[in-house]
Structure 1
Amino acid sequence: MHVDLQPKMMIRDVHIADRPRERLIRQGAESLSNQELIAILLRTGTRKESVLVLANRVLSSFDKIQDLKDVTIEELTTINGVGEAKAVQLLAAAEIGKRLYQKHSERRYTIRSPEDAAAYLMTDMSSLKQEHFVVLFLNVKNEVLHKQTIFIGSLNSAIVHPREIYREAVKRSAASIICSHNHPSGNPAPSPEDIEVTRRLIEAGLIMGIELVDHIIIGDHKFISLQEKGYM
């Protein structure tokens, strides 16, 4: 049940059976709207508006609820009525959600193709505003042992040091790795710099005995595999 409140209407004016926490207890969390779930995290509204109205304004500040996974405390506290304490609660909830999803995926995710790798990475990487260089560390069965962001910023050979990547691979006892980075422009076409970095990583991998299986470039919900394109 969705509850529409006027700006001056407070949560105490809502029948107790229709309040978010009571509905969650009675009907389960899956029955609540995004607005009601955010309201539970915020706990209280302001002197002038209910927590449900405040929750609605928080959601209205983003294109979609998934954007909350990458929000910063500075962005949240610019929303009127959201102070540091409320922002911290929202960030903590978003981080728990990310970790639950990541652990669930990593326990059983096997990569057999570039499509598998792209599917694993796409949700987190396609909406990033900066370039992130991410490495998947795989065991001999091509199962994901670990995923780690190694660098943030424009990709170039001066920044991407093979030693940082392969040090982590040795630490994780990885048999192979898959590298990926995103293009915030949305176009996943590889640049000469992307190709140069890939070749340097292949050479280092041959020395270390840890294969670079692929380099996936993520765009706006599309990708390019440098292995498929013949650059590896």
Structure 2
Amino acid sequence: MSIKNWPATERPREKLLQQGVSALSDAELLAIFLRTGITGIDAVSLARQLLSQFGSLKSLLSANQQQFCAAKGLGEAKFVQLQAVLELSKRYLEQQIQRDTVFTDPATVKRYLQHAISHKQREEFLLLYLDSQHRLIKTESLFSGTIDASPVYPRIVVQHALAHNAAAVILAHNHPSGVAEPSRADRSITERLVQALMLVDIKVLDHFVVGDTDVISFAERGWL
């Protein structure tokens, strides 16, 4: 049966308008993005098949062009659309944290970081450079590495923070495993960075570790 023949309360678009976007499942949201199904399969059923094929929404969203376009019902046009949607979301949240003092709303920073790096298949280390009022100067991806680790060099962090005239920084990196819990290595490199940046009078406000569904804050844990 075509989605057009479903009860209005079950159609993804109508459900979104009536109940809000948070009421929709991953498959329903993906179906709205797909717009149409394929021969013999409606958009919601196709979305469910794709989520099953890729294993998760994160895996689908982070798939490279070849992987994405090889799936039935997808293709280059959909890949381009998806990349545009992801980048729009990232820029929207970045503009939100640029507008105000970053540290007045850590929840927005967490949402931004999830959009920016939670889907990355390799570990990536970000710095958010802040001025003396803790307003965002720039976000920079400084290091990226293997699936399990990203090499972080304090000397390079200090050089870049000084180059951006930062008064403070926020550190962030993702765990491609999806588990946000900080490791001993995460705590060790944070201590080294705090000490290195302290020598040039730059304060580390927080270090966020980003997983699939959670973002851990060192400051909230009392580690900074």
Alignment TM-score > 0.5, same fold: yes
Residues 10-35 of structure 1: CA deviation (Å, up to 9, x unaligned): 56xx34995969748x9479368354
State the alpha-carbon separation in 1 of the partners of residues 91 and 175 from structure 2: 24
* 1:216 maps to 2:207: yes
Does residue 179 of structure 2 align to residue 188 of structure 1?
Answer: no
Q: Which runs of 5+ in 1 are unaligned?
A: none
Measure the CA separation in 1 of the matches of 2:140 and 2:11.
Answer: 36
Residue 133 of structure 1 and its aligned partner are, at CA, apart by: 0.9
Say if 1:46 and 1:143 are closer, same or farther in 2 by CA, change over 3 A.
same
Deviation at residue 89 of structure 1 after TM alignment? 1.9
**Residue 151 (1) aligns with residue 146 (2):** no
Q: Does 1:99 align with 2:99?
A: no
1:33 is matched with 24
Taking the aligned partners of 2:132 and 2:175, their CA distance within structure 1 comes to: 30
1:177 corresponds to 2:169? yes
- Provide TM-score, normalisation by structure 2: 0.65
Instruction: Supply the distance in 1 between the matched residues of 2:218 and 2:73 (Cα, whole angstroms).
Output: 45
Change (3 A) 1:116 1:38: closer
Residues 84-129 of structure 1: per-residue CA shift (max 9 Å, x gap): 222222232232223222322342253279x779846763556654
What does residue 52 of structure 1 align with? 44
Q: In structure 2, do the counterparts of structure 1 residues 213 and 197 end up closer, same or farther at CA, with 3 Å as the change threshold?
A: closer
Question: With structure 1 as the length reference, what TM-score do the two structures score?
Answer: 0.63
2:130 — aligned with what? 138
Residues 1:205 and 1:81: Cα distance change in structure 2 (over 3 Å): same
Map of 2:100 onto structure 1: 108
Gaps of 5+ in 2: none
Alignment partner, residue 86 of structure 1: 78
SS of the residue corresponding to residue 90 of structure 2 reads helix
Distance of aligned partners of 1:29 and 1:146 in 2 relative to their CA distance in 1, 3 Å threshold? farther
Q: State how many pairs are aligned.
A: 212
Q: Quickly say closer, same or farther: Cα 1:188–1:22, change in 2 above 3 A.
A: closer
